[in-house]
Structure formats: structure tokens, C-alpha cells
Structure 1
Amino acid sequence: MDQMTTRKPTSESSAAKITRQSQMLSAQLQSLRTHMYPPEAMKSLRTFTSRDVATMLGIAESTLRQMSLDGEGAMPERLENGRRSYTLAQVNEIRRYLAVKRPMEALDFLPRRRPGEKLQVIAVANFKGGSAKTTTTVHLAHYLALTGLRVLAIDLDPQASLSAMFGYQPEFDVSDNETIYAAIRYDDDNRRPLRDVIRNTYFDGIDLIPGNLELMEYEHETPQAIASGGGRGDGIFFRRLGAVINSVEEDYDVVVIDAPPQLGYLTLGALCAATSLLITVHPAMIDVASMNQFLAMMSDVMHVIEERGGVLEHDFIRYVITRHNPNDVPQVNVVALLRSLFGEDVLAPAVVDTTAIASAGLEKKSLYEMARGSVGRDTLTRALDSVDAVNLEIFNHLKSVWGRS
């Protein structure tokens, strides 16, 4: 009779091994972050040259220089080579100054929403990995803040990639009851006002509600709440997120939500809270097939929500082509297919596939944070041009909703 081979037992269980490896990786990530951002181990934003600022504000560099000489607006730091260096906070101070000094151009300098213009809530969604959902979210948030808007970024994904991009390591920097879950949880005793969990960031004009694994609690508790008949009106599960966002409506121009990569209760809340949707798609056939399943599921649950009294009316829904290689014929064909089917619902510009975005991601930065010289000049310029074009079209959609030309 053949001798049977038996597996040698190990002294460490699988659960113990995974726990140990998770702790080891977390400690190493914390060490790397401390090394990258000493001494406080927090991110900071680069400064901007006079040329950068003049371009951002749409004024001549000589005008900016004269303002500095006349003591008007913010006073920049003078570097050893005599050049001026501005922080983003100083750029925004100059925006406010120019908006007052030139009232006819106020909206160009400071395009914040005016009385009567509704808060814009943009949900970025897809459940296919690799569609650049978080990258799209962080670049949009940074772009809008650089134009002078007040942005609230909400990390609704338990994996918390958006939080990491803002310098937070979820298991170290985000404690219990410090995510959006704290404001939408069902137990009254532990629920917190939304303002209590909003954090200022190093990026002037952007506040953040970070995420971590506790967001999964909402996915677990919602079925129980539904079964017990809990939640009426704004308390029903698909209205809870929108209701708490409304509590800080006066503080922001735009809310950007990084939705989870699955169609759970958190994502449904984001869809209902949103005034517009961005659906990211990598133009490969397998990704498009996955997106098709996502759309079919989303259609089904939207109908269910509407039957429960939910209102799903979005100012615009747009597909964002990401990681696009215009020299790849199959990708070009997929993009052509999407444009033929969905027309103007596909954003005209696409985000190109470039090493600049990958390099920025390794440093947990957006392209807007990258210093010149950190990657090849032409590579960075090409990447920025494509990301700028996408974000500008989204910004123009926002302005159109606000009734601006």
C-alpha cells in the first residue's frame, strides 16, 4: 500500500501568521513615512514660483512682482537667488485680494459658489481594481483647490487609499470613530457630528474625512437596521450620508467622495448623496466588461432605492478614461466604442498612461505636488497636460451647473 504523505503541522496558525505579517508591514510603512516626512512625519505641499502663481491666477508675472514690491496681497519668501516663493495659502490670499480689487473679475480669481448655487457632491466610483479611482479623486480634489475652491474629500473606502495620499496611515493615524462612520452609524450614543471628524490637511483649501477598516461596520450594521425597521426619513440607510454632508454645506464648494470598489451600502449612500458621478474606466476590454456588470448592478439597486422613496437625480454622469495609451490600437478601439455608445457622457480628454503618475503614486503624491526635475520634464508636462484637461472639463461642468458661462 502506498504510503500517504502527511503535511507537517506548523506551530503558527494562518490567522496568527497573517496578523504578524500585517503588523510587520504596518510598522515598516510607519518607518518609511517618518523617513520621507521628517521630523513630524507629516506631508507638506511644495511652494510655487512667481511664474507658477502668475499662471494659476491668470495675471502677468510683472503684475505679481509689482504687487510684492507695493506690499499688496501676500508677501512671499525671498530665496537666496532672489526669486520669490509662495505657499498655496499665500496664493489664496492673493486670490481674495484680487477678487476685491477687481470685482468684475472676482469669479475668475476666486470661483467659489455664490448664494443660491448648490453644493456640488461628486462621487468617483467603479468596482474594478486598476481603474485609477483614487488617483482620479485626489487629482480632482487638488486641482479644484488650486483654482481657489473649498473642497471636502471623503474617503469612503475601507482600504483608505485616499487617506494615505493625504499622509495618513489608517491603522496608526485614524482611531476608532474618526471616519465618516462616526457620523452615520446607527447607535445614537456613539454618533458624532460630522464636523468632529473633519481634518484640515497640508493642502490649503482641502479638508479630509479619512477612512479605515471601521467603515466595514456600516456594511455589517445596515442589514440589521433594515430588518429591525430602523431608519426613517433622513435616517434611512441611503440618505444618511447626504444628510450629514448637508450639515456642513455652507463650508464648502465641492465635496469629492472616493467610493468603495464594491456596490455596498456605503456606495449606495454615495450615489444618493452625489449631485454628479464620475465613473473611471481603463480602456481594456476586460475592464469594460467588468464596468458593464457594475452598471447593470447599479441600475438594479437604483430602481430599488427609487421604489423606497429615494431620489436619484444627478446633474451629470461622466465616464473618465484613465491609464490610456493612445498608441495601443485595442485601447483606441475600446475608447471609440465607448464614445460611439455614450457620446458626450465620455469626457473628451483622457488621462494618459505615464510613468509620471506611477512615480508620484510611489511617493503618495499627485502630479500637482511633484517638483520639476523629480521625473523627466517632458514626461511630467505630458502627464499634467492630460490630467489638467480632464479636471478642467469637470470644473466646467460644475460651473455650468452653477449657471456660469
Structure 2
Amino acid sequence: MSRNTKAQIQLPLRAPQTRIDRLVGDHARALSERLLAHRAQLFPPDSRKELRRFASGEVADLLGVTDAYLRKLSLEGRGPQPETGPGGRRLYSSGNIMDLRRLLEQGAKAPGTYLPGRREGDPLQVICVVNFKGGSGKTTTAAHLAQKCALDGYRVLAIDLDPQASLSALHGVQPEFDLNDGGTLWDAIRHDDPLPLGDVIRRTYFTNLDLIPGNLELMEFEHETPRLLAAKDAAQAASPFFTRIADALATVESDYDLVVIDCPPQLGFLTMAALSAATAVLVTVHPQMLDVMSMCQFLLMTSELLGVVAGAGGNMDYDWLRYLVTRYEPGDGPQNQMVSFMRALFGDHVLNHTVLKSTAISDAGLTKQTLYEVEKGAFTRSTYERARESLDAVNGEIEALIQKAWGR
């Protein structure tokens, strides 16, 4: 090979390196801007997310009365007067539904027929919805449970303990824009100058449903707690990390019947503190082998870590623990086998009803809504009703467990 030929040979150039922190940051900012534009398109900047009106037939089902009886009340001028929609349909707001419950409770033969919440001496119910396997339907379950209980007359506080804040987004809160100055549970459970829990509670567009939103700031609890444990800080000794959520809830206990906590998808200090505050635990699981194997590891870790917490004085006494099968496809043979396996293994600890996999639930999520928020006419009637019946049955079973915990 000649000298000139050698001179012409060039080594391949190495591709320029990309700093991953900058690339991820660029992607995050681009996505955040697009999400903000999407929200502005769905809900104009000067407006707030509002709940639809409920048709009289749907309200009658919620109250356990007939549509004709609601019409009679309206004609007699008793209770809230419904709006008149297209075709003469009578429409009620969630506030109207609560007013009807108060009216009907006055003439009820048994107390609690229409207002099923706490009575004197009943403890606050705190339900933790947990799993650390993505796709188990944890947030979807928590949102539908909180909203259905609110519609059924319970005073509900929903807490988004997941830094990813999906439960917050479902209720019209976009963390990177709406929580620039704080406003999460972190503000009330931090060791340094915590705020009263009431200062971070937000009213929602659902009557009877309040929200404590979440964002990445919650990770500060995961960072601060081990530092305090390692340093044996005096404040930590006086107030262990696993009592922080329970102590905060105690300050607003009289305002609610039920607290629903959407836990983060990992077994960290936040989850352990939530489990220490809980009176009940709901574990969501998708009936696939990998998901069940993941749940097995979750249960093993939970048992070991909470055993340590219990030894340090943490409260581990629960009214109930249940496994909820989610995203279930009855026609799927392997899924049926897995459900049968779980029922044989855990018995009554598996809820009788399941949450079916449905395009109605997933499509509602595209517009940051639940199945209780979307208009029925947006879907094929059979698709909507099948999904709604599934969710109502699951939530009804959980409400029965709440009532049983109160001795009813």
C-alpha cells in the first residue's frame, strides 16, 4: 500500500456523546409543555374541572329508590330541584345527590340507610391501596373507590402518596404547574416545621371528596428519613417516621369517614408510614404469572419490614386485608387459572368481584376522567354498563367491609 493510499484512509469518527441528564431534562420539559397544552384544550385556563350532571335514573339507583319517587319529590317541592336537560331529562349534581340523602335519611326506618358514614364511636377508616408492580390498576382502583364512596354518602379524603401523581392528575391537578409552592402530604409530615394537614387539603368537584395531591416533592421523605435514622436525630426519636401520617390524619379525623391512600409503587418509608396509619389494606393484582410472582416478593418484603416497624411500636392491627383482581379478562384461560390459584391459596382474602379489563375505563383515562365522570353516551352502551357494573360490585364489596369494621 502506497503512502498516498495510507493517507487517504480515515478511522471512523466516534459518535458524539449525549449527556443523559440533559436529554432526559429536554424530554421532560417537552412532555410537560405538551401536557399543559392538552389540559388547556380540555379545560380552558380560566375554568376548573367540573363533574357532569347525573340523570334521574342513575341517581335513583345510587339512592336505592325508584325514578318515579324522585319525580314525586320534585313535584311536591321537596328536596333539590333538578335541572331539565335535552328531551326533558331531569339532571342532578353531586351536591343535589347529597341533599337528597339528607332528606331521605330523615324518614328512614333504619339509621344510616342513606347516610352510611361514621357514627359516634366509629373509628376513621384508612384504606391503603398498594402494590409495587406497575400496571396493576392501583391508581384506577383508588380513584374509583374514593369517588363511588363519595357518591354513596361517605365523607372521603383521597391522598396521592405516589410521586408520579396520577391520582392528582385524574382530579384536575397537574403537579408541575399547580404545586410549585408545595401542597402535598410532605408539607404536613416533614420533621422540620410541618404544616397543619388541613392546609394542604383541597376540595374537589365531587361533593364529599377532598384531595391531598402528590408530586416529586414526596421523595424528600424517602431522603430525609434515612438521614435522620442514621444520625439518631432527637426529633426522629420523639416522632418516628412511621407515625407521621397517622399523627397528621388525627388532626382532621372528625371531618371524614374514610381515607383512601394511593401508595407509591415501591416499599419505601412513605408506604411503610401509610401502612402504619392504615386500618385496612387493598392489594391490586393483575392475574398474570409475572405479576403474581412480583406480588410474592412484595408480600415477603412487606412482612419483614413491617415486622421491624411493629417491633418499634408501630400499629399493625388491620380490620381487613384483601386482594383485588384487576384488568381481568374472563375469556382468558391462563388468567382464569391464576384467579383460581389465588382463591385456593388466599381464600376469603380475595374479593369475590373483579375489575374487568375495559376500553371504557382506559378511554375515560385519556381525558383524565373516571367511569363515574364520563358521559354514558360516549361509549357503546353494553361496554359502559359492563365496566360500570364491575366497578360498582367491587366498590360495594369494599363498602360492606367498611360497614363490618364498624360493627354493622
Common fold by TM > 0.5: yes
1:223 paired residue among 222, 226, 233: 226
Aligned to 2:362: 358
The 8 Å contact of residues 127 and 261 in structure 1, kept in 2 or not, is answered as yes
Using the size of structure 2 for normalisation, the TM-score is: 0.95
Aligned to 1:7: 14
Aligned to 2:217: 214
Aligned to 1:384: 388
* 3-state SS in 2 of match to 1:300: helix
Aligned to 1:202: 205
* 3-state SS in 2 of match to 1:257: strand
The 8 Å contact of residues 126 and 277 in structure 2, kept in 1 or not, is answered as yes
Aligned to 1:172: 177
Q: Is 1:294 the counterpart of 2:301 in the alignment?
A: no
Cα distance, 1:233 vs structure 2: 7.1
Residues 100-139 of structure 1: CA deviation (Å, up to 9, x unaligned): 2x14244111111101111000000000001000000001
Q: Distance in 1 between matches of 2:82 and 2:239?
A: 48
Residues 330-388 of structure 1: CA deviation (Å, up to 9, x unaligned): 11111111000100000011111111111111111111112112111101111111111
Cα distance, 1:177 vs structure 2: 2.8
The 5 Å alignment of 1:29-44 reads 29-38=35-44, 40-44=46-50
Residues 213-242 of structure 1: CA deviation (Å, up to 9, x unaligned): 000001000011112223467720001001
Residues 12-67 of structure 1: CA deviation (Å, up to 9, x unaligned): 63322222221111111111111112353432111011111111111121221121
The 5 Å alignment of 1:14-93 reads 14-38=20-44, 40-79=46-85, 81-93=87-99
2:186 paired residue among 159, 181, 187: 181
**CA distance change for structure 1 residues 287 and 108 in 2, over 3 Å: closer, same or farther?**
same
Q: Distance in 1 between matches of 2:353 and 2:102?
A: 31
The 5 Å alignment of 1:231-242 reads 231=235, 235-242=239-246
The structure whose Rg is larger is 2
* 3-state SS in 2 of match to 1:40: coil
* 3-state SS in 1 of match to 2:375: coil
Q: Is 1:116 the counterpart of 2:146 in the alignment?
A: no
Aligned to 1:396: 400
- Whichever residue aligns with residue 82 of structure 2, its letter is P
Aligned to 1:269: 273
Residues 158-210 of structure 1: CA deviation (Å, up to 9, x unaligned): 0001001101111001123310000000112xx21000000000111100000
The 8 Å contact of residues 281 and 322 in structure 1, kept in 2 or not, is answered as yes
**CA distance change for structure 1 residues 390 and 234 in 2, over 3 Å: closer, same or farther?**
farther
* 3-state SS in 1 of match to 2:41: helix
Q: Distance in 1 between matches of 2:374 and 2:385?
A: 11
- Whichever residue aligns with residue 117 of structure 1, its letter is D
Identical counterparts, % of pairs: 49
* 3-state SS in 1 of match to 2:163: coil
User: How many residue pairs end up in the alignment?
Assistant: 400
Q: Distance in 2 between matches of 1:335 and 1:403?
A: 30
Cα distance, 1:3 vs structure 2: 6.5
* 3-state SS in 2 of match to 1:122: strand
Residues 241-266 of structure 1: CA deviation (Å, up to 9, x unaligned): 01101110000000000000000000
- Whichever residue aligns with residue 284 of structure 1, its letter is Q
The 8 Å contact of residues 275 and 316 in structure 1, kept in 2 or not, is answered as yes
- Whichever residue aligns with residue 314 of structure 1, its letter is Y
* 3-state SS in 2 of match to 1:108: coil
- Whichever residue aligns with residue 353 of structure 1, its letter is K
Aligned to 2:147: 142
Q: Distance in 2 between matches of 1:80 and 1:348?
A: 39
**CA distance change for structure 1 residues 235 and 78 in 2, over 3 Å: closer, same or farther?**
same
The 8 Å contact of residues 191 and 236 in structure 2, kept in 1 or not, is answered as no
- Whichever residue aligns with residue 185 of structure 1, its letter is R
Q: Is 1:243 the counterpart of 2:250 in the alignment?
A: no
Residues 64-98 of structure 1: CA deviation (Å, up to 9, x unaligned): 11211221111111235332211010110111111
